[in-house]
Amino acid sequence: MESAYTRILAKIKENSRKQVYGDLQGSPIDVLDRLQAEERKNEESLEHVVTQWTFLKRRTEQRKIELDAIIVKKKELQEKILESGNNGMTVPLDMRQEAAKLRAEFSPELNNIGYFDIQKGSDIAVLSSPKHPVSMDKRLKIDGEVRLDSRSNDNQHTIDQQTKKNKYPDNLLRLRERLYMDYNINDNWHLLGMLESEKALRGSYDDMDGNINLDRYYLQGYAGNILVSAGAFGTTMAEGNIYDSKFKGIMAAYGDGKPWSYRLQYGRIDLAKKVATASMSYDTDNYGLDVGVYHFDIDGGRNRNVFMANIRRPIGGWLTLGGMYLHGQDESVGNGDGVVVTLARGKENSWQKGNIYAYLKYYHQPASTYVEHTMNGTADWMSGFKGPGIGFSYTLHKNMVFSMEYDRLRDLKTSDHANTIWGGFSYYFNNYEND
């Protein structure tokens, strides 16, 4: 490619030839003088052009070096902010002022490399809904579960002194079917639902009559970067140690746990006409922290408030140790402090053959610290409880899971004991291929 220097030199030579041709029409002495003068003039012009060109080249190279340094410094600062989770970290004022000054000075160069387009895109992304690529070939996805389970209590004939009826539920053999439906509206908003049928094969349970019920129905999607769920959906609170069942209302969740995540809920449940919760989690490779506040306006005019703090930590490479503190406030049953200690191995999944999930827990929870517990034991029939619980699940084959649970609990008010053994076999299916 022809350089600017070469083009200038060629132009000077062309002008010189034209001038010489004109001078040849005069005397030889005049021609020689004119040629010498033109030569000196050309040399001076050429030196000036070379000087200016060299200066501009050095200035451009220096500006490029400075610009590259700015880009490197910006990337380093962004990485530090991301690594710290922006936990109280702010950019120093002098650095912000220097960055603004340099950005103004190098605005032409920044515009040429597309900096301002990138900056505009970053600003818009904060308020834009994230794109989640979803195949529109299957607008309606269906997942299902068929489960046969059994529960046996050794103290089912204990009489409640107030009601004069059996305090604990009958032994149960049950067949349960669930059909989960997910209709993709526009690659963001989804309409979800769950049909459920329960049939008691052993035990007296009037509500398990085999009828089909629409138990879940809700809309879910992103508003900006906030995941919104509205309708009737399932929820767990404090790992299920406070509540694990159906919730009617709205939930807003923000963050993916890298490292922060937040969740707000407002609505009602079968046992409370008003429920409001706020929880927050912080997760790293070395530990996890959870805090939450849960308010229940229980039917009958009782208010129950539960405060939760939890820490989780991996140990030994394949175990997780957790310790949860619960403080409950309820004038009708008395305030109380509870703890749940958990030692767990692995996680539940139904798609990986040979997967093992197991846990060992110890509970001490006064009645004011929970509303509807996640366990299969007799916690919901007690006035507070304490004791150990053991659980185990094994994936026999893809979509086939066998599970067992044993809970040995003692009522904190009456000192009644109840041993519960629960076992279940689940088969899962769907109408689409897993990614």
Residue 389: CB atoms within 10 Å: 21
At the topology level, CATH places domain 142-430 in: Porin (2.40.160)
Rounded to an integer, the average pLDDT of 354-366 is 97
**Above 60 in pLDDT, residue 260?**
yes
Rounded to an integer, the average pLDDT of 329-351 is 95
Cis omega (within 30 of 0) for bond into 259: yes
State which of 9-13, 79-83, 92-96, 183-187 shows the largest mean pLDDT. 183-187
| Residue 41: both structure tokens together | 């003039």
Q: 29-44: buried (b, 16+ CB within 10 Å) or exposed (e) per residue?
A: eeeeebeeebeeebee
**Above 70 in pLDDT, residue 142?**
yes
218/231 Cα distance (integer angstroms): 4
Rounded to an integer, the average pLDDT of 56-74 is 70
What does the mean pLDDT of the chain come to?
A: 83
pLDDT at position 299: 83
| Residue 417: both structure tokens together | 């004991």
Q: Model confidence over 373-413: pLDDT tens digits?
A: 999 999 999 999 999 999 999 999 999 999 999 999 999 99
Please state at what angle helix 4-23 crosses helix 28-84, rounded to 10 degrees: 170
Sign of the alpha-carbon torsion through 424, 425, 429, 434:
positive
CATH 2.40.160.10 residue ranges of the chain are 142-430
Q: Model confidence over 14-50: pLDDT tens digits?
A: 665 555 555 545 555 555 666 667 667 777 666 766 6
Three-state SS at 373 = coil
Let me know if 252 is exposed, middle or buried by CB neighbors in 10 A (0-12, 13-18, 19+): middle
